[in-house]
Amino acid sequence: MSQTQSEYTVSQHSLDRDCTTLSRHVLEQLNSFGPEAQDLSAIMNRIALAGKLISRRLSRAGLMAGVLGFTGEENIQGESVKKMDIYANDVFISVFKQSGLVCRLASEEMEKPYYIPENCPIGRYTLLYDPIDGSSNVDINLNVGSIFSIRQQQGEDLDGEAKDLFQDGHQQLAAGYILYGPSTLLVYSLGNGVHSFILDPSLGEFILAEENIKVPVHGPVYSVNEGNFWQWDNGIRDYIRYMHRHEGYTARYSGALVGDFHRILMQGGVFLYPGTVKKPEGKLRLLYESAPLAFLIEQAGGKASTGKENLLDVIPDKLHARTPLIIGSLEDVKLVESFIEDSYKQK
Ligand code: AHG
Ligand code: MN
Ligand code: MN
């Protein structure tokens, strides 16, 4: 049976789409086969492998022994550690061990960076990551994520303190996240737009879903844990009161930053984790939670702020430093900032 031109065009189009795998896309993005492009492409492939391994384990979590629940330990943040946090943390280490690419990995679950000495003479990159973001969702089968950021090692790290990582977020070479939801999604940027990929389990490949994602300049969603209202500054309280009193806004909060952020990236709005009385810097960690997402939102045409300054300008004073985070559509982030500014004027 002969194919009409339009049938051919349609099937060719979906075939092209199926063939746009993450690795091909990374190389096209870098527009080079030079050593740095090869390295970044290999690093992204390893991150994708980590995502596939974590996704596989999460999808069977309720069926296997020893996957759900707490380990009984606390991490450096003083938070109870889940078995999945440790599994996912170790997955990232394992996939990078023999890579020759990454000398150090720094994660939420480790007080100090993890060094892979055999890679260090040549591996000039550092991976910063949150292995499982939103881990309170793991045991109830709701969405969780992983966040990653790639930085070039700057100078020697002789004392093992990784102080060269205490730099602003503009220094990131790449950033992204993996969202483990009904499907597994990988979103990344190499500083040239934001692109999303869906894991096709039958192929074991991340396939291009959307290129050059742009966040709407305004959206209806505000995403914040309102249970903290009593401990916020007046600026944030005034902003939330404004949301309550005006038509056109709706609240969404899942308890997993990656999921809440992804909704906002795709549909617009704002996510906030402001400082509180107990935690003036908020809860979210700069180097492997807020800064990577700020890198993505700027690439998508949005904005990320601490309320006082551009989030990508913040220089951490320690590996696990925290910052308040206000992130999303340009207009919505500016509106929150205007309430914060007004409250300072009134002081
Ligand atoms: P993590 O699971 O990596 O510790 O991160 C949890 C974070 C983030 O995902 C989420 O937005 C926030 O904590 C939720 O905190 P609250 O329960 O305080 O709202
Ligand atoms: Mn997290
Ligand atoms: Mn985490």
Distance 28 CA to ligand 3 centre (A): 31
Which pLDDT value is given to residue 71?
87
* Contact (CB, 8 A) for 307 and 281: no
- Length, in residues, of the chain: 347
CA atoms within 13 A on the CB side of 298: 20
Beta-bridged to residue 102, according to DSSP, are 125
Distance 1 CA to ligand 2 centre (A): 54
Residues near 311 by beta carbon (within 8 Å), at least 6 away in sequence: 169, 286, 290, 291, 294, 304, 305, 323, 325, 327
Q: How far is the CA of 298 from the centre of ligand 2 (A)?
A: 20
Token pair 């990582």 is at which residue?
165
Interstrand relation of 144-152 and 174-180 (parallel, antiparallel or unpaired): antiparallel
- Closest residue by Cα to residue 272 from 343, 320, 335, 230: 335
Domains of the chain: 3-210 (3.30.540.10), 221-345 (3.40.190.80)
pLDDT, residue 345, reads 84
> Given this model, what pLDDT does residue 10 score?
63
Nearest CA to ligand 1 atom 11: 257
- Take residue 52 and report the two structure tokens written for it: 């596939």
| Residue whose CA is at the smallest distance from ligand 1 atom 15 | 255
Measured between alpha carbons, how far is 327 from 306 in angstroms, rounded to an integer? 9
The 10s digit of each residue's pLDDT in 93-110 is: 999 998 888 999 999 999
Residue-level pLDDT at 66: 84
Question: What residue owns the CA closest to ligand 1's atom 14?
Answer: 255
Mean pLDDT in consecutive groups of 10 residues from the start of the chain, 347 residues:
64 72 90 83 96 96 82 84 94 92 94 88 87 95 97 79 90 98 97 97 95 98 97 96 98 98 98 92 97 98 97 97 98 98 86
Q: What confidence tens digit (pLDDT) does each residue in 135-174 have? A: 999 999 999 999 999 999 887 776 777 888 999 999 999 9
